[in-house]
């Protein structure tokens, strides 16, 4: 049984990783400062893990959190493009300084490997599709720059200190527990909830913007594989974490209609600053070096997600 530290454990992806690890019988420690995470996300698993309320910017707390840990899954971040446009300093502190703290603490504690939640936004708005890891990054938002900088720190800590690191460039991860309620929420969470409640969703742009929407179970599996793959295959490297298929915003609205029983229309608004137009991953490298497979496709993932939000609505509304 190995010991894992999940940073951002109360967030959508972090709490899903905690569950995935506990299901496999692993020992889990989690930290979160609740800046975007919610205690509710961990409700029924809190008694089976070592949870600590702490900020990744607190180096002492990070040293304590890393003590005795084999693997760190670093998910803590302020994960929003528009938020980074409003507050680039805050984005940089959480998404870059925070990562360097995690790396220093992991290095000092002699952790075996750190797996990092990198972002497809690093590719930027380059026209080439699909995006593959050998492409030169071209980030266009402060958020994307911060995520890329952290990725480079991951590589540097492997090269300079021998700390094994793997970066997974997430492509629009979605699924149960993704917060639908903020202005910065992921589009599928937001649309699912709005349409279930009979509210009209808004597409920013012409509806042709596309994303490689990745169901959460695929991201959890990629993290576990990134911990177990031989170092020769993955240490100091970056991998896309996606499905290799893209869906436009207009298509997501059409797919959600029957699932949410929504009879209304959709509004169109101006394009959002810092957004990229299309995103699609080449997942060959992850398949080859991590043994990664797409476990749940877009349609199935969307069905599971809407079912979960429906159940939440029943519990809250009952
Ligand atoms: C998302 C993640 C980011 C991650 C990146 C790559 C979120 C909140 N952000 O960024 O952390 O690094 O993927 O994996 O999950 N949109 C609408 N209407 C809305 C909301 C959004 O049309 O009400 C549009 C946006 O303008 C954008 C697209 O939907 O074109 C996707 O937006 P969003 O879900 O916020 O994700 P990304 O910005 O792609």
Q: Among 3.40.630.30, 3.90.25.10, 3.30.360.10, 3.40.50.720, name the CATH number for the domain at 187-208+246-277+304-317.
A: 3.90.25.10
Tokens of 173: 């991860």
Mean pLDDT of the 7-19 span: 98
Domain spanning 3-174+213-244+281-296: CATH 3.40.50.720: yes
Task: Please report, for the chain, the start and end positions of each structural domain, with discontinuous segments joined by +.
Answer: 3-174+213-244+281-296, 187-208+246-277+304-317
Question: Is 40 a residue whose pLDDT tops 50?
Answer: yes
Whole-number Å distance between alpha carbons of 196 and 259: 9
Whole-number Å distance between alpha carbons of 94 and 169: 17
Whole-number Å distance between alpha carbons of 248 and 252: 6
Tokens of 219: 């991201």
Average pLDDT, the chain: 96
DSSP state of 177: T
For residue 183, the model assigns a pLDDT of 82
CA of 188 to the centre of ligand 1 (A): 8
Closest atom of ligand 1 relative to the 191 alpha carbon: 23
Closest atom of ligand 1 relative to the 188 alpha carbon: 34
Mean pLDDT of the 252-266 span: 98
Mean pLDDT of the 41-58 span: 98
Q: How confident is the model at residue 315 (pLDDT cuts 50, 70, 90)?
A: low
CB 182 within 8 A of CB 38: no
Residue 87's CB is within 10 A of a number of other CB atoms, namely: 15
- Going through 192-302 in order, the beta strands assigned E by DSSP cover 202-204, 210-211, 214-215, 237-241, 247-248, 267-269
Q: Which residues contact 311 (CB under 8 A, 6 or more apart)?
A: none
Q: Is 80 in the pocket of ligand 1 (CB under 6 A)?
A: yes
**pLDDT per position as a tens digit, 178-212:** 999 988 899 999 999 999 999 999 999 999 999 99
Whether 215 is catalytic is no
Q: Is 187 in the pocket of ligand 1 (CB under 6 A)?
A: yes
**pLDDT per position as a tens digit, 75-87:** 999 999 999 999 9
Exposure of 144 in the CB half-sphere (CA atoms within 13 A): 18
Question: Is 1 a residue whose pLDDT tops 90?
Answer: no
Question: Is 93 a residue whose pLDDT tops 80?
Answer: yes
Question: Is 101 a residue whose pLDDT tops 70?
Answer: yes
Q: Which residues contact 199 (CB under 8 A, 6 or more apart)?
A: none
Question: Is 140 a residue whose pLDDT tops 70?
Answer: yes
Secondary structure element (H or E) that encloses residue 4, with its range = strand 3-7
DSSP state of 183: T
């Amino acid at each position: 049984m190995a010991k894992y530290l999940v940073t951002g454990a109360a967030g959508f992806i972090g709490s899903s990783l905690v569950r995935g690890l506990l299901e496999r019988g692993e020992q889990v420690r989690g930290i979160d400062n609740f800046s975007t995470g919610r205690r509710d996300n961990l409700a029924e698993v809190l008694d089976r893990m070592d949870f600590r309320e702490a900020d990744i910017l607190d180096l002492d707390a990070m040293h304590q959190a890393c003590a005795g840990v084999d693997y760190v899954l670093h998910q803590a971040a302020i994960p929003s493009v528009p938020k980074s446009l409003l507050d680039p300093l805050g984005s940089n502190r959480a998404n870059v300084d925070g990562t360097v703290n995690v790396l220093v603490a992991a290095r000092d504690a002699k952790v075996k490997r750190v797996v990092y939640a990198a972002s497809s936004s690093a590719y930027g708005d380059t026209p080439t599709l699909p995006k593959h890891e050998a492409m030169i990054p071209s980030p266009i938002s402060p958020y994307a720059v911060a995520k890329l900088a952290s990725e480079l720190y991951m590589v540097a800590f492997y090269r300079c200190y021998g700390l094994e690191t793997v970066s997974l460039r997430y492509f629009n991860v979605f699924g149960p527990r993704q917060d639908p309620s903020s202005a910065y929420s992921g589009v599928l969470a937001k649309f699912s909830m709005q349409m279930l409640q009979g509210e009209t969703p808004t597409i920013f742009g012409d509806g042709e913007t596309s994303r490689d929407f990745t169901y959460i179970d695929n991201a959890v599996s990629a993290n576990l594989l990134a911990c177990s793959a031989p170092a020769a295959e993955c240490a100091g490297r970056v991998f896309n974490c996606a499905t290799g298929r893209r869906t436009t915003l207009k298509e997501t609205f059409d797919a959600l209609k029957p699932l949410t029983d929504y009879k209304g229309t959709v509004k169109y608004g101006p394009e959002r600053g810092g957004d990229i137009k299309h995103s699609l991953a080449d997942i060959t490298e992850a398949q080859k070096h991590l043994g990664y497979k797409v476990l749940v496709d877009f349609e199935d993932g969307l069905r599971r997600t809407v079912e979960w939000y429906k159940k939440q609505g029943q519990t809250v509304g009952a």
